[in-house]
Amino acid sequence: VRARVMQVEHSPDVTYEDIGGLEEQMQEVRETVEMPLDRPEMFEKVGIDPPSGVLLYGPPGTGKTMLAKAVANQTNASFIKMAGSELVHKFIGEGAKLVRDLFEVARENEPAVIFIDEIDAIASKRTDSKTSGDAEVQRTMMQLLAEMDGFDERGNIRIIAATNRFDMLDPAILRPGRFDRLIEVPKPNEDGREIIFQIHTRKMNVSDDVDFVELAEMADNASGADIKAVCTEAGMFAIRDDRTEIYMQDFLDAWEKIQQEASDETEVSR
């Protein structure tokens, strides 16, 4: 089971240079996660505990996973990822056991960054805890809190959680000593979008007529993941046309197409 749901990467290949438009967030992650891993003695000497858990929240595809991977890369820590939804199981005790395994794997791979995506799946405000499924989810969360409360603050394991549903979270996980550092990861503004376009076209053979300022202006409301999709799609347009150079028009067509797909999806889900 372990191998299936837990992904362990030794120094993932994402760096801070790959992330656009999140300067402040990067700064905060570095202070709260990187510093304690790199220079634990600082905290020891000063006599304060670094935050045990950092929570990243914001819309999908804005770079939360990338931030967690970049900090693991920077500190040469292993990156252990698990999705909250994978911790939700039918069988009693299974979720709690997976949480214990998660921390055990982290200890075996120290220094380590544990990344729990979709934390809301196990840490939602109690709706109706009478049903047995909810009680099991509750137990899983209690185990997570116990692991967090239990481990040595100055140890070599840091925990980062992420959610798109901040409003749904159980306040218990936000208490001091748990996920008490909250970092909002919003969609990029226009400047951020320009940088993200540049990042994702770094290895692309783009023509001189491509105007990143205009692209950033056009892609209003796009997330980093959307921008990446536009770049890939622009490349596809060139290939379909049997070209190896990508023109501005390819990006415009790609944006059209991606927006069309997004609106088709909302149609379907309605």
Contacting positions for ligand ATP (CB under 6 A): 19-22, 60-66, 117, 162, 164, 196, 199, 224-225, 228
Q: Which two tokens stand for residue 9?
A: 């990467």
| DSSP code string of 27-74 | HHHIIIIIHHHH-HHHHHHHT-PPPSEEEEE-STTSSHHHHHHHHHHH
- Considering the complex, what minimum distance in angstroms separates the CB of residue 5 from ligand ATP? 16
Judged by beta carbon, residue 27 or residue 132, the one nearer ligand ATP is 27
Judged by beta carbon, residue 36 or residue 192, the one nearer ligand ATP is 192
- Considering the complex, what minimum distance in angstroms separates the CB of residue 192 from ligand ATP? 7
90 labeled binding residue: no
- Which residues, listed in sequence order, are joined to residue 56 by a DSSP beta bridge? 162, 183
64 labeled binding residue: yes
- Considering the complex, what minimum distance in angstroms separates the CB of residue 91 from ligand ATP? 26
Q: Does residue 58 come out as left (phi exceeding 0), alpha (psi in the -120 to 50 range) or beta?
A: left
187 labeled binding residue: no
Judged by beta carbon, residue 131 or residue 232, the one nearer ligand ATP is 232
Judged by beta carbon, residue 117 or residue 147, the one nearer ligand ATP is 117
15 labeled binding residue: no
- Considering the complex, what minimum distance in angstroms separates the CB of residue 210 from ligand ATP? 17
- Residue of closest CB approach to ligand ATP: 224
Judged by beta carbon, residue 54 or residue 96, the one nearer ligand ATP is 54
Q: Quick one: how many helices (H) and strands (E) in the chain?
A: 11, 6
140 labeled binding residue: no
What residue ranges in 91-202 does DSSP mark as E strands? 112-117, 157-163, 179-184
- Considering the complex, what minimum distance in angstroms separates the CB of residue 185 from ligand ATP? 6
Q: Which two tokens stand for residue 2?
A: 């372990």
Alpha-carbon distance of 188 to 185, in angstroms, equals 9
Q: Does residue 63 come out as left (phi exceeding 0), alpha (psi in the -120 to 50 range) or beta?
A: left
As annotated, the binding site includes: 61-66, 200
As annotated, the binding site for ATP includes: 61-66, 200
